[in-house]
Amino acid sequence: MTKNSLSIKSKFAISSGTFSAFFMRQGVGILAIPYYQMSLAVDPFLLAAAMMVPLILASMIGPWVGQLSDIYLQKFGNRKIFILLGALISAVFYGCIWQVPVDWQTNMQLLYFAVVYTAFCIAAEFFLIPYTCLVYEATEDSCERVSLFALNSVISKVCSLFHQWAFPLAQLSIFSSLYVGVKWVGWLIAIVAIAIAGVLPALMYQHKTNHTAKPKQIQSTKLLSNIRHVLSNRAFNLLLVVTFAQFFGVVYSASMDYYLIVYYMQGGDLVSGANWKGVLSTAYALCGLIAVPIILKTNAKFGRVNCFLLVYLITFIGGLSKWFIFVPGGQYLLVIDAALGCFAWASMAILLHSLIADVAAEQNAQHGNHNGVYVSIHNMVMQLCISLAMLTSGLSLNFIGFNAEMGANQSAASILDMRMILAGGTMISALLAGSALIMFKRLAITKV
């Protein structure tokens, strides 16, 4: 074993934090929509806003958290205190999100959610950024790094297999009521998936780093200059268009599938709808695991951009198929939707990030290293797209006349609008991403 090699124990100690990172990013939405909106009847637009604003506020303090973590690393040689406290404090706030009194007025319940969720998002930043840095700094060997990322990816897929079953679990008869079930499940996720899994990298992994060099203080004017330089890169901007198409277009369109499953396919039966949504999410995770080697083999044969274009052709076909799948009696066809839609999500991690890395490396050779700016801008765009998709989804539901209190008696027009958003939005997003990739290929700045 070389000095840059990681032991099996170290790899699993580091990767255990992936459980926490996954549920910090995706663990609120899986309960908030069916609980706060469908059960407590909170306004969908206001709930979407309450979920969007905290994410944006948290992302704005991200650079400051990263710099603080870097300074601590310089002084003490590790980021353990951030990872440890970030995981524990985030777990407390996550559990508190689901403790809202059920006898409160809806507006007070929404305010409670917004305040506690904001605290959770801020606390999560103090875990997510230092933890991501830990993964990057664990080894200088590229092969070891790929191996570590692969393990993290597998853990994320495993989490994807189970996380959508959180609400169906809360509905089990072992709980005296749905409200009690949500509280128990919320604390289970908080303690096991966020707190325990999150502290393991800090407690079990012995971090080794070279911290003899003094950190260079970043001037705000210099940072702004670097941001302008990165945004002047046309190839990078085209990849941001692909990011927008996937993380806004596809996410916004897909936000309708839960409502169609519950109120159209299952006739307003929330329990049955939640179960079938769990089936769909499980199918996406399983198909995503299968898609990875297919994408890698296609990439090796045709190149990344051609592979990406093929992926979005499949996504376009998948969007068209949604019109025929998300209808009463079509629940057994949901696996087809997952099979056609999973490739785009797998490609985000495999193809998109590698293209961004190449674009950054090409420019770095000419103008100096700006990798951090490239990554931070992409992450910010991705987060803003997801937040905007959530907000637009809630606004759209209000605009088309959706009302959770009507149950299965939703108007035919609102159901039709949901179907058009789900199918048409996915197809338009695939066309937008494909167009950007064709323009990117014509630039020919890198081997693609």
In terms of residue numbers, what domain contains 281? 218-448
Q: Which of 187, 207, 227 is the last residue before a domain boundary?
A: 207
Q: Which of 207, 235, 269 is the last residue before a domain boundary?
A: 207
Q: Are residues 261 and 307 in the same domain?
A: yes
Q: Is the pTM of this model over 0.95?
A: no
Q: In CATH, what number is assigned to the domain containing residue 436?
A: 1.20.1250.20
Q: List pLDDT tens digits, range 208-245.
A: 544 444 444 444 446 567 677 778 889 989 999 999 99
Q: Are residues 191 and 283 in the same domain?
A: no
User: Does residue 343 surpass a pLDDT of 50?
Assistant: yes
- Range among 30-44, 146-160, 242-256, 361-375 rated most confident: 242-256
Q: Are residues 233 and 148 in the same domain?
A: no
Output the pLDDT for position 59: 81
Q: Render 108-122 in DSSP notation, one character per residue.
A: HHHHHHHHHHHHHHH
User: Does residue 151 surpass a pLDDT of 90?
Assistant: no
Pairwise CA distance, residues 242 & 204, whole Å: 38
Q: Are residues 271 and 159 in the same domain?
A: no
Output the pLDDT for position 120: 96
Instruction: Give me the chain's average pLDDT, please.
Output: 82
Please report whether residue 257 resides in a domain: yes
Q: Are residues 251 and 395 in the same domain?
A: yes
User: From the CA atom positions of the chain, what is the Rg in Å?
Assistant: 22
- Range among 265-269, 363-367, 424-428 rated most confident: 424-428
Please report whether residue 315 resides in a domain: yes
Please report whether residue 312 resides in a domain: yes
Q: What is the average per-residue pLDDT within 142-163?
A: 70
Q: List pLDDT tens digits, range 30-79.
A: 888 888 887 887 888 888 888 888 988 888 777 677 667 766 766 766 77
